[in-house]
Amino acid sequence: AQSVTQLGSHVSVSEGALVLLRCNYSSSVPPYLFWYVQYPNQGLQLLLKYTSAATLVKGINGFEAEFKKSETSFHLTKPSAHMSDAAEYFCAVSYNNDMRFGAGTRLTVKP
């Protein structure tokens, strides 16, 4: 069975600081991995996806994630946080049209 674990339900950074949101996956087959962002009272927006091509994936809004098979990780990073990045972030793994989400990480950005 596929699953993801997000380490840290809340992350707080200062504006301009590095953002690092952690995600580890469990999959018996090569996984498809995703990061989604959710703003209050909105649906989920796809940030980026990994589908077994390049291990470093660039997404929207300056985010990127690196697939590390040896560490079963797919951490999300952004070099410099902006106030508008404050939101809930979900890591997800998909297999055979079945997507499973992590519990989410709430990112707070302090001025």
Partner 1 sequence: DAMVIQNPRYQVTQFGKPVTLSCSQTLNHNVMYWYQQKSSQAPKLLFHYYDKDFNNEADTPDNFQSRRPNTSFCFLDIRSPGLGDAAMYLCATSRGGDLIEQYFGPGTRLTVT
- Per CB under 8 A, does 61 bind partner 1? no
* CB 44 to partner 1: min, Å: 4
Stretch near partner 1 under the rule CB under 8 A, chosen from 15-23, 62-70, 74-82, 97-105: 97-105
Enumerate residues 2-31 that contact partner 1 by CB under 8 A. none
- Per CB under 8 A, does 111 bind partner 1? no
* CB 28 to partner 1: min, Å: 17
CA distance 64 to 47: 8
CA distance 33 to 41: 24
Which residues, in sequence order, are bridge partners of residue 10?
A: 106
* CB 41 to partner 1: min, Å: 7
Question: How many residues does the structure list for the chain?
Answer: 111
- Per CB under 8 A, does 99 bind partner 1? yes
| Strand blocks (E) in the chain | 3-7, 10-14, 19-26, 32-38, 44-50, 56-58, 64-68, 73-78, 87-95, 98-101, 105-110
Residues that bind partner 1 (CB under 8 A): 32, 34, 36, 41-46, 49, 51, 90, 94, 97-99, 101-104, 106
